[in-house]
Structure formats: C-alpha cells, structure tokens
Amino acid sequence: MDVEVSIKTDQYPEETTWNLSSDLSCDTGSTIDGGPYSQASNLTSVRKCLPAGKYVFTINDSAGDGLCCGYGIGWYNIVVNGVTTHAGGLFGGSESKTFGECTRKPTTRKPTTRKPTTSKPKTKPMMGKLSTQAPTASSTMSFQPSMQVPTASSTSSFQPSTQARTESPTTSSPPSDPTT
C-alpha cells in the first residue's frame, strides 16, 4: 500500500514528532518516524510503500498545544493509495488514528494423523527366562501340580471353629420326642 504522511509545522516545529507503525494485532514490522523539525510553517512529506495491513499513526506535540491554531496554522494529512484517510491539527499533546485492514488470515492447525507403530511390544518374563523355541513333536511337556492331597498319615493343623453358627440348616429333621 502506498502511504504518504504530510506535516505542516506551526511556529514551534521542534515540538512536533510522529510515528506510523503496524498495529499489534496484525504486525507487519513496518515503522516510519518523523520530527522533530527545525523550520517553522514548513511542509514536509514522507511517502513509503508498505505491506498491506493495519497501521496506527500517532502525532505528538511536546508543549501540548497541537499544530493549530494558537501558534500558527499547522496540520497533518495521511493519504493511502491516493485517498485521504485522516487529517487534523487541532489536538493537545497527542492524537492517534488507525487505518488499513489486517489481511493476515487466522492460522488453523491441521489435524494430526498418527501412524501405526511397527515396534514389537516389550514383555518382561515373570521368573527366569522364557524359551523362544516353539515345541516340536519330539518335545515332552509335563505339568506337575504343587498341591498335595492329605492322607491319613499326614498331620494336619486344621481346627474346627468354636463359634456358633447363626444360619439355619438347609435340611431339617423332625424334633426328637423327649418322652420316648
């Protein structure tokens, strides 16, 4: 975008400075500065080709009386692509104007797709080493349980419970007759 900033100074040109920079929401990294000036009632123009974007123009007067009209008839003018967007001169210590549009499109993230893994799962043997050989027809495999069946000669430490049962029996026998 073609931008031209024109400044006509008042009787105290050393009080006037200005800055044109890209808006923070759409930062293009572009900045132009002007002033302080040395000649009273003088017209100065700065013209630059800037990247499309949103910009903020700020003009300052260190005495706080602007460019017009107490101490001369000064003014500023901003022209973008041949069209005047802002003009002025009657302000206090500072005035800011915004022009242009943010042309940056919001960034969107593409959904990520996970690729299937080709690594084998890691396993740890519980005890000892596991054999990686498959059994063959000549292989013999045996299973021996570790539980022993008690015999009459084996000693047992089983003690019947002495606590009373609160459950009712599943089979009932007729009450015995005490008179018989």
Q: Write the CATH number for 56.
A: 2.60.40
Whether 172 maps to a domain, the answer reads no
> Domain for residue 96, yes or no?
yes
Residue 113 in domain: no
Q: Tell me which residue of 40, 107, 48, 42 sits closest to 81, measured CA to CA.
A: 48
Q: How many domains does the chain have?
A: 1
Phi (first) and psi of residue 93, to 5 degrees? -80, -25
53 inside domain: yes
CA distance 47 to 60: 19
Residue 13 lies in a domain: yes
Domain that holds residue 76: 2-100
Burial status of residue 44 (CB atoms within 10 A of its CB: 0-12, 13-18, 19 or more) = middle
Q: Residue 66: is it exposed, middle or buried by C-beta count within 10 angstroms (0-12/13-18/19+)?
A: buried
N-term to C-term CA, the chain = 124
- pLDDT tens-digit profile, the chain (180 residues): 999 999 999 999 999 999 999 988 888 888 999 999 999 999 999 999 999 999 999 999 999 999 999 999 999 999 999 999 999 999 999 999 999 998 765 555 555 566 655 555 555 544 544 445 554 555 444 444 444 544 454 444 444 444 544 444 444 445 555 554
Instruction: Report if residue 154 sits inside a domain.
Output: no
Between CA 25 and CA 101 the distance in angstroms is 10
